[in-house]
Each structure stands twice: as structure tokens, then as C-alpha cells.
Amino acid sequence: ELDDLVRKQAKIDETGWTGVNERTFIAVKPDGVQRKLVGEIVRRFEKRGFKLVALKLVKASEELLSEHYWELRKKPFYSRLISYMSSGPVVAMVWQGLDVVKTARKMLGETNPAESLPGTIRGDFCVEVGKNVIHGSDSVESAQREISLWFRQGELHRWESSSKNWIY
Ligand code: ADP
């Protein structure tokens, strides 16, 4: 198991997706798009100091969603989750920055909005676990998997942020 961890870490180091280059996959779910929360959510990530690397509005196919939610396939709410997530377009994004995976999860709040503190996205904008507005990768490994699932290499943009020196 330790070997596994070491190998995983080596793979992450190799791709350079650590430190200020860490990336996470964030998606505004169909309810978030319907409720016009896209701007508010993008604003929070920009203001926090993260860098936008990719963004698109997509209607996710059931095939894509079944890969995305592979680990939940046995859950009783799975089919409801797939129809919810494919009920309308989602805004798929990649954000980059120091500890972005962990920080984004804090910004999102808990899976269940009722347990999410005010000030978090779920704590401010929703009430039900089945309509919780936003997705964010739960680890660096899932971020890598999800980014390559949702985006082609050419959709991930390289650009220098001039505010970088004011953040780090
Ligand atoms: P998170 O999105 O916070 O990482 P999970 O990976 O556990 O949480 O679940 C994925 C998504 O499945 C949740 O964001 C939510 O939309 C949905 N979900 C989780 N638990 C339930 C539940 N008990 N009932 C309905 N939907 C759920």
C-alpha cells in the first residue's frame, strides 16, 4: 500500500501537477446553471487567487457521467444522480493554484448542503444533497482523472497570470 502511495506521488510529481501548478476539476451542475450561479462561482475562484485554465458549457452524456461517477455506481441514488447531471448543461472548469484541490473543497462545503457552513458555496446557495449546485474533485488523483475525462489536452490553456507575484 505504501508502494502504491509512493508510485502515485511519483506520477503526480512527474506531471508537475503539484505546488502552484496543482489543478482541480470544478463543475457548476445543471441546477447551478439554471439558477444563474455561474458568475458568482467563477468570481469566488478568481477572487480567492486561483487561475482559470479551462472552461466550457457542456451537456454531459450518460457515458461520460457513468465514468465520472464510477465509484458511486452501486449507490441507491446513482440513477437519480445521472439523470440530474444530464438534465441540462454544466459549466466544466479547471482551476489551478497552491492546494487548489483542498481549498476548493472547503469553498464548496460538505456534500450535504445542510451540513455546509454559511460562506461556502453549498452553504449559501442550496438545501438538498440531490441538488447541490457544484462538483469539485476530492483528491489530486481524482482531479487528474476527471480533467482528462472532461477535457482534451488542447482545451487546457497555458497563460501567465500577471497577478501571480501578488499571490505567491
Ligand atoms: P461530493 O460531490 O461532495 O464529492 P460524493 O462524491 O459522495 O460527494 O457524491 C457525488 C454527488 O452525488 C453529490 O455531490 C450529490 O450530488 C450526489 N449525492 C451524494 N449523496 C447523495 C444522496 N444521499 N442522495 C442523493 N444524491 C446524493
pLDDT tens profile 38-94: 999 999 999 999 999 999 999 999 999 999 999 999 999 999 999 999 999 999 999
pTM here is: 0.92
In angstroms, what is the span from residue 15 Cα to ligand 1's centroid? 29
- Predicted interface score ipTM higher than 0.90: yes
The rounded percent of the chain whose pLDDT value lies above 70 is 95
Arithmetic mean of pLDDT over the chain: 94
**135 catalytic per annotation:** yes
Instruction: Quote the strand ranges of the chain, DSSP E.
Output: 23-28, 51-58, 90-96, 134-136
How would DSSP label each residue in 130-163?
Answer: TB--EEE-SSHHHHHHHHHHH--GGGSPP---TT
- Estimate the share of the chain in helix, then strand, then coil, as percent rounded to the nearest 5: 50, 15, 30
pLDDT given at position 3: 81
Pocket test for ligand 1, best of 81, 105, 122, 135 (most atoms within 8 A of CB): 81
110 lines ligand 1 (CB under 6 A): no
CA distance 121 to 151: 24
Q: How far apart are CA 124 and CA 109, in angstroms?
A: 9
Q: Give mean pLDDT, residues 137-162.
A: 96
Three-state DSSP at 53 gives strand
pLDDT digit string, tens, across residues 8-17: 666 665 566 7
Q: Pick the catalytic residue: 51, 135, 144, 147?
A: 135
Residue 72, CB half-sphere, CA atoms under 13 Å: how many? 12
Beta bridge partners, 96, equal: 23, 51
All 3 cell numbers of residue 34? 439554471
Q: In 3D, which of 44, 51, 2, 20 has the Cα closest to residue 134?
A: 44
Q: In what order do the strands lie in the sheet with 23-28?
A: 51-58, 90-96, 23-28, 134-136
pLDDT of residue 14: 59
Of the candidates 40, 9, 7, 163, the residue with the CA atom closest to the CA atom of residue 97: 163
